[in-house]
């Protein structure tokens, strides 16, 4: 690699290094774009330019971690979500596109009228902050039971200049409010049984606290339901991201706890059951 000079040469080498190690070659390009906050055109314009030695070393070190299945987003320390850039760390899940669909649905169904909104298991704060950014009149609260995750979420709030109230604790326990208008969550929902089929990069590097739940992955949904019965306002709504096999079970569960509300099951763009809405 030391003999390679231009971005073009290094990129070519890096892509085949990844491919030879069974990884997707586009990760090399992703890393270079992220180092500079470049778009693809910027890279094209620089293909013949010389890559600084320090950058070559950084890339080499990063690629070696990528082939151990380490998520590239943790190497960069940030990623995009719903049009904004958020800090992430090993203490937080890497936000997924499915969660953007959850945020989008919640925004489409609810106006900017003042209301109390609680994001349970906020992680890096992507849900809470994206909602607040688009609905300035909402009072958004965010809960997590990882102090390290809350620290990242608070940094993201400063970065995006949005005011969110953060709470340390489990589900709705730290929220005294009894008139919550919207509860939203992408809680841990992976069951023990699914462990073996998970991607190694998820299994080895993403926080287990953010991923796993007892009782076939349903435990936290049930805890949220039980608490929400007392803390949701009469006209309140709940938006939940769910595992693609959990649709029927969670729909029934919420219909049981909220017999007077409508419980809808919504599919993601891939056609999988993904979101439950109680309204």
Nearer to ligand GLN, 187 or 243 (CB): 187
- Least distance between ligand GLN and beta carbon 136 (Å): 21
**Tokens matching residue 94:** 């890497």
Size of the site for ligand GLN (CB under 6 A): 12
Interatomic CA distance for residues 128 and 115, integer angstroms? 13
Nearer to ligand GLN, 15 or 122 (CB): 122
Contact 107, 128 (CB under 8 A): no
Q: What distance in Å separates the CA atoms of residue 128 and residue 120, rounded to the nearest whole number? A: 9
Nearest approach, Cβ of 134 to ligand GLN (angstroms)?
A: 16
Smallest gap, in angstroms, from Cβ of residue 127 to ligand GLN?
5
Of 79, 106, 117, 126, the one binding ligand GLN (CB under 6 A) is 126
Q: Which part of the chain contacts ligand GLN (CB under 6 A), choosing from 3-11, 69-77, 120-128, 230-238?
A: 120-128
Specify burial of residue 174 (Cβ count, 10 A radius: 0-12, 13-18, 19+).
middle
Structure tokens at 179: 């008139």
Under a CB-based contact definition with an 8 Å cutoff, are residues 160 and 129 in contact?
yes
* Residue with smaller CB distance to ligand GLN, 28 or 102: 102
**Separation between Cα atoms, residue 162 and residue 270, nearest integer Å:** 31
Q: Does position 187 bind ligand GLN by CB under 6 A?
A: yes
127-146: which residues touch ligand GLN (CB under 6 A)? 127
Cα separation of 111 and 198, whole Å?
37
**Residue 156 interacting with ligand GLN (CB under 6 A):** no
Residue keyed to tokens 């390679």: 4
Minimum distance, C-beta of residue 208 to ligand GLN, in the bound complex (Å): 10
Residues numbered 54 to 93 that lie near ligand GLN (CB under 6 A) are 93
Q: Which residues pair with 166 in a beta bridge?
A: 142
Distance in Å, CB of 96 to ligand GLN, minimum: 7
- Contact flag: residue 15 with ligand GLN (CB under 6 A): no
Burial 241-251 (b: 16+ CB within 10 A, else e): bbbeebbebbb
Residue numbers at the binding site for ligand GLN (CB under 6 A): 93, 95, 99, 121-123, 126-127, 186-188, 210
């Amino acid at each position: 690699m030391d003999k390679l000079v231009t971005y073009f040469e290094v990129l070519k080498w890096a892509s085949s290094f990844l491919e030879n190690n069974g990884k997707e070659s586009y990760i090399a390009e992703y890393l270079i774009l992220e180092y500079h906050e470049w778009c693809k055109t910027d890279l094209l314009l620089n293909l013949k330019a010389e890559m600084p030695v320090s950058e070559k070393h950084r890339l080499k070190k990063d690629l070696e971690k990528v082939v151990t299945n380490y998520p590239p987003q943790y190497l960069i320390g940030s990623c995009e979500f719903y049009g904004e850039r958020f800090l992430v760390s090993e203490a937080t899940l890497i936000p997924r596109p499915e969660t953007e669909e959850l945020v989008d649905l919640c925004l489409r169904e609810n106006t900017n009228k003042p209301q109390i909104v609680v994001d349970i298991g906020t992680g890096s704060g992507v849900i809470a902050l994206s909602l607040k950014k688009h609905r300035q009149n909402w009072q958004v609260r965010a809960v997590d039971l990882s102090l390290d995750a809350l620290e990242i979420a608070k940094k993201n709030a400063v970065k995006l200049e949005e005011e969110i109230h953060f709470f340390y604790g489990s589900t709705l326990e730290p929220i005294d409010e009894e008139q919550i208008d919207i509860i939203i969550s992408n809680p841990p929902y992976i069951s023990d049984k699914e462990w073996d089929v998970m991607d190694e990069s998820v299994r080895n590097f993403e926080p287990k606290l953010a991923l796993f739940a007892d009782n076939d992955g349903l435990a936290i949904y049930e805890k949220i339901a039980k608490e929400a019965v007392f803390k949701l306002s009469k006209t309140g709504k709940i938006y939940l991201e769910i595992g693609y096999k959990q649709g029927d079970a969670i729909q029934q569960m919420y219909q049981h706890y909220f017999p007077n509300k409508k419980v809808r099951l919504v599919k993601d763009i891939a056609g999988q059951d993904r979101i439950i809405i109680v309204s």
